[in-house]
């Protein structure tokens, strides 16, 4: 296991122009780790734990974060505005700075062997109507429901990042599909939503069946070296 040093000086120089963090008491329906959206210059996070914030800030799944239970015990609403047209990289750097300033967050990175998945295209895929290149420009929008998820203007790396939540494991995009897509993933043909919990198949089984049947994609399990964010210190939220 190798520890990696973070570019702390660079991170400290990148900040949001305005940011607000407030405790949240209302979860977002059908969202496991809250809801995150980025529109133009504004990052909005609803009902997110510090663990979910760290995952977004460092581009990893929550399963790749090692730290105290307090990372998941409380949820927050965050609204943060940056300068015009910030890059995805800068937004994540700004969030790292915000977490350090408001929660006293300190972390380091390590490489660790763990179980994960790769997302690929089926060897003989069909072309489903529920999965196609986006025809209109715009920000990425995704919504969960009791029976599936829909997304507009989503890239395959973003979709792979979404899949890490229900799988609780890292997912690497190896589809080779560039650009943005519209998709609808419906679980109802693959699972009895009225069944008792102990009769339900595993999340990875249902996801793989739906991905193959609805989108022409598939997940393959693998053990490999993945980046892990180790939380050395996290405190209470300081006031705005």
Looking at the chain, the whole-number percentage of residues with pLDDT higher than 90 is 55
> For 13-31, what is the mean pLDDT?
89
Based on the domain organization, do 58 and 146 belong to the same domain?
A: no
> For 105-125, what is the mean pLDDT?
90
Confidence of residue 195 (pLDDT cuts 50, 70, 90): low
| CA atoms of 56 and 62, how far apart (whole Å) | 9
Confidence of residue 9 (pLDDT cuts 50, 70, 90): very low
Based on the domain organization, do 96 and 119 belong to the same domain?
A: no
Based on the domain organization, do 144 and 43 belong to the same domain?
A: no
What pTM does this model have?
Answer: 0.76
Residue 30 and residue 53 in contact, taking contact as beta carbons nearer than 8 Å: no
Based on the domain organization, do 31 and 119 belong to the same domain?
A: no
Based on the domain organization, do 129 and 93 belong to the same domain?
A: no
45-71 pLDDT, tens digit each: 999 999 999 999 998 989 999 999 999
Tokens of 208: 């793989």
pLDDT of residue 8: 41
> Does any domain span residue 232?
no
Residue 146 and residue 187 in contact, taking contact as beta carbons nearer than 8 Å: no
Residue 22 and residue 4 in contact, taking contact as beta carbons nearer than 8 Å: no
Tokens of 62: 């929550």
CA R_g for the chain: 18
> For 74-92, what is the mean pLDDT?
90
Q: Which domain holds residue 86?
A: 3-108
């Amino acid at each position: 296991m190798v520890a990696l040093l973070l570019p702390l000086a660079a991170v400290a120089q990148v900040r949001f122009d305005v940011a607000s963090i407030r405790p949240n008491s209302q979860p977002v329906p059908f969202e496991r780790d809250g809801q995150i959206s980025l529109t133009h210059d504004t990052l909005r996070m609803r009902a997110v734990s510090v663990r979910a914030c760290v995952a977004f800030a460092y581009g990893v799944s929550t399963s790749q974060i090692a730290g105290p239970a307090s990372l998941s015990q409380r949820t927050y609403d965050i609204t943060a505005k940056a300068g015009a047209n910030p890059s995805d990289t800068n937004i994540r750097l700004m969030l790292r700075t915000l977490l350090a300033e408001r929660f006293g967050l300190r972390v380091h990175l390590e490489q660790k062997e763990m179980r994960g998945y790769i997302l690929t295209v089926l060897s003989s895929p069909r072309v489903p109507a529920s999965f196609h290149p986006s025809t209109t420009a715009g920000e990425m929008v995704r919504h969960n429901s009791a029976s599936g998820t829909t997304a507009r203007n989503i890239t395959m790396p973003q979709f792979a990042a979404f899949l890490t939540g229900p799988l609780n494991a890292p997912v690497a995009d190896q589809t080779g599909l560039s650009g943005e897509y519209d998709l609808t993933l419906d679980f109802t043909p693959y699972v009895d939503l009225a069944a008792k919990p102990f009769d339900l198949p595993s999340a990875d089984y249902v996801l793989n069946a739906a991905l193959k049947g609805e989108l022409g994609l598939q997940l393959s399990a693998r053990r490999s070296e993945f980046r892990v964010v180790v939380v050395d210190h996290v405190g209470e939220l300081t006031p705005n």
